[in-house]
Structure 1
Amino acid sequence: MLLHRLRAPAVLLALALTALPAVAQTPMEDPLDARDARRVDRMEKVVRELRDIVFKAQRTGAPVVVQPADTDARMAELGARISDLEQSLTRINGSLETTGHELELAKRENEALKVQVKDLTDRLAVAEKAVAPPEPPEPPAEEPARAATPQEAFTAARQLMLSGDYAAAEQAFAAYVQDYPEGPRIAEARYWWGKTLTVRNAHAQAATAYIGAIRGWPQTSWAPDAVVELARSLVALKKPTDACQALAELPKRYPKAPTTVTNRAAATRTQAKCAA
C-alpha cells in the first residue's frame, strides 16, 4: 500500500489535472480504434480518481491511502486459491497412497485368513473322523449244531469252509478246538481255524492258531502251508525277525514242500527283508 501525504504543491497538480479533460475532449482528425478508446477511458477514470483524491486531501488535510488495482487483488486471490488447491491435491494424493497401501495389506491378510480357514477345516475334518462313533458290530452268526463225535464236528466245520461261509466255519473250528483239545485232528483243526481268522485279518489270533497247528512239526500235506501262513501273519504284526525264523525252518522241516508253497515263502521272505 502506498501512502501519500499531499501538501501545498498539490494545488498546482489539481489545476493541471482539471485541464486534462478539456484536452481529452478536443476532437481529433483520426478516430481511435476500440482498443485505444478503452485505454483513453481507463486513463480518464484514473484522472478523475486522482482529482477526487487531491480535492479530498485539500479539504481534510488527512493522508490519503491509494488502494491497489482491482486486477492485482484478484490475481493475488486466484494465486491463493491455486495454492490451496495444490495443497488439497497433495493431501488427496497422500490419502490415496495410504489407502492403496492399506488395501494391499488387507488383501494379504485376507489370503492368510483363507489359508488358516482351510487348515482349520482340514483339522476339523480329521477330528470329526477321529471321534466318529464306531460302526456297530456285525450280529454273531448262528452257532452251528454240535456234532455227536469229533469226526462229525470236524467234517461239519470243513464243509462250512468249503461252502464259503468263513464266519460259521471259524466258529465251528473254534468249537472243535475247545471241545476236543485231544481230538485226533486237533492240529489240522487249528490250521483251518487260522485260515478263517486270516480271512478277516485277525492276524494275532491266526498266528496263535498256526503255532498250535505246527507244534511238533507234523508231517502232513498242510503243514508247510501253515508255516508260510504263520510267517505272513508275523509280517502283518510287524514282527519280520520272527517271520524270517519261521521261514528258515521251512526247507529244513519240509524239503519236499510243493512249489506253490515255496513260491509264497520266497515272496514272504522278500516282504520281511530276510537275510539271504
Structure 2
Amino acid sequence: MHLACIGRVAASGLFALLLAGSLSGGSAHAQLDSREAISLQDQILELRHEMRQMQSGGGEGSAPPMAPSSTSVDQGAGSPLTSQLLDRVSTLEAQVRDLRGQLDQLNNQVQQQNAALSKQIGDMSFAVQQAHPEGGVPGGNAGDAGPPPPPARPERRTPELALQQGNAALAHRDYAGAQAAAREVLAGPKGPRQTDAQFLLAQSLAGQRQYQQAATAYYDVYTHAPHSGRAPDALLGVSASLLALGDKTDACQALQKLRAEFPSPQPRVSRASLALRGRGGCR
C-alpha cells in the first residue's frame, strides 16, 4: 500500500477514534475535561497533523504521490514512521476504551446511589405518615390536637419568703443565693423589708470578699435607716469591711460614729466594736 493510502487509512482510524472519544451527553463532555482526555486529544491532533504532512508529501522520508508500484508498496509498508503512527493509533484507541469504561462505571455508581437515596426518602416519608396520620399526633385525629399550653409563669416570691430563703442561704454560706434573694426584694416595690434586704446584700458581698462593695452596702443601710435596729450592725459592717481593705483610719471613724450615736449598744454590738478597735488600733 502506498504511504499516502496508509495515511488515509490512519486518518480514517483517527476520525473513528475521535467519534468514539466524543462519547454521549454531558457525561462524556465532562470526561473530556479531565487531564487524561485533554492529553489524549492533543496526541490525536498531533497525529492528524503528521498524517496531513504525509498525504501532502511534506513529511520526512516521504515521496511525492505517484502511481502505486511494488517498490513503493514495499517502501510504504516498511516505513518506520508509518509503523509508529499505527502503534500510536492503537494505543490511543485502547486509552479511549479504558476511559469510556471508567465513565460507564462512574455513571452506574451515581445511578445506584440516587436510587438508594430515593428509597430512603420514600421510607422516611412513609414512616412519618404512619406515625402522624393526616398531620395529627400518633393514635389520634388531627382535630384532637389543640394549641400548645402557654408556658407556666414562675411564681414570684413574697419579700418575706425571699428574705427567709436568703438568710437560710447565707447561713449555709451560699452567698450567691443570698445576694440573689436580696436583690429580688430590692428590685420590688418599696416596703419595710427594704432595709433588711440591703443588710442581707451587704452580708452576702462580704462573704464573697467583695469588701469595697460590702462597705458601700453597709453604709447604705445606715443612711437609709439611721435609727433602726440595723444601724449599729451596719456601722460594724462598714468598719470590718474597711479593715479587710487595710483602711484603718476610716474603719476607726466608723467605730467612733457608732460610739457617738449609740452610747448604750447591745452587749453583742459592744463586744464586736471592742474587737474591731483592737484590730484597727483605734484610740
Give the TM-score, by structure 1 length.
Answer: 0.42
Question: Which structure: larger Rg?
Answer: 1
